[in-house]
Structure 1
Amino acid sequence: MNDSGEQTPSSESEAGLDDPVYRDAVIDLLGAIAYGEISAFERLADDAKLAPSLADQVAIAGMAAAEFGKVAALFERLTSLGAEPFEAMAPFRTPVDQFHANTAPADWYEGLVKAFVGDGLANDFYREIAGFLDAETRSLVVGTLEDTGHAAFTVERVRAGIASEPRLGGRLALWGRRLMGEALIQAQRVVADRDELSGLLAGGVDRPGLDLAEIGRMFTRITKRHTGRMAELGLDS
Structure 2
Amino acid sequence: MKESPGVVDLLGVLAYAELSAYARMTEDAVTLAPSLGDRAALSELAVTEYAHFRLLRDRLADLGADPDEAMSPFVEALDAWHTLTRPSDWLQALVKTYVGDGIALDFYREAARHLDPSIAELVDEVLVDEGRSQFAVERVRAGIEAEPAAAARLALWARRLVGEALSQGQQVASVRPELARLLVESGPADISRLFATLQEAHGKRMAAMGL
Q: TM-score range by the shorter chain?
A: over 0.9
Q: Name 1:42's counterpart in structure 2.
A: 23
The structure carrying a bigger helix percent of its residues is 2
Alignment of 1:1-237 (within 5 A): 15-17=1-3, 22=4, 24-49=5-30, 50-202=32-184, 209-235=185-211
Q: By how many angstroms is 1:178 displaced? A: 0.2
26-35 or 74-83, which deviates more = 74-83
Determine if contact 1:191/1:197 at 8 Å carries over to the other structure. Answer: yes
121-130 or 100-109, which deviates more = 121-130
Q: By how many angstroms is 1:102 displaced? A: 0.6
Encode CA deviations 1:147-193: one digit per residue, 9 max, x unaligned: 12111011110001100100000000000000000000110221122
The normalised TM-score by structure 1 is 0.86
The Cα RMSD (Å) is 1.1
Distance 2:186 2:28 in 1: 37
Determine if contact 2:33/2:39 at 8 Å carries over to the other structure. Answer: yes
Any idea what SS the aligned residue of 2:6 has?
A: helix
Amino acid at match of 2:77: P
Determine if contact 2:6/2:179 at 8 Å carries over to the other structure. Answer: yes
How many residues matched? 210
Amino acid at match of 1:200: L
Distance 1:187 1:33 in 2: 12
Structure 2 unmatched runs, 5+: none
Amino acid at match of 1:119: D
Any idea what SS the aligned residue of 1:146 has?
A: coil
- Structure ID, larger Rg: 1
Determine if contact 2:112/2:182 at 8 Å carries over to the other structure. Answer: no
The normalised TM-score by structure 2 is 0.96
Q: Percent identity?
A: 49
Determine if contact 1:99/1:182 at 8 Å carries over to the other structure. Answer: yes
Encode CA deviations 1:76-130: one digit per residue, 9 max, x unaligned: 1101111000110000000000001111101000000000011211221111111
Q: 1:164 to 1:218 in 2, by over 3 A?
A: same
Distance 1:193 1:71 in 2: 21
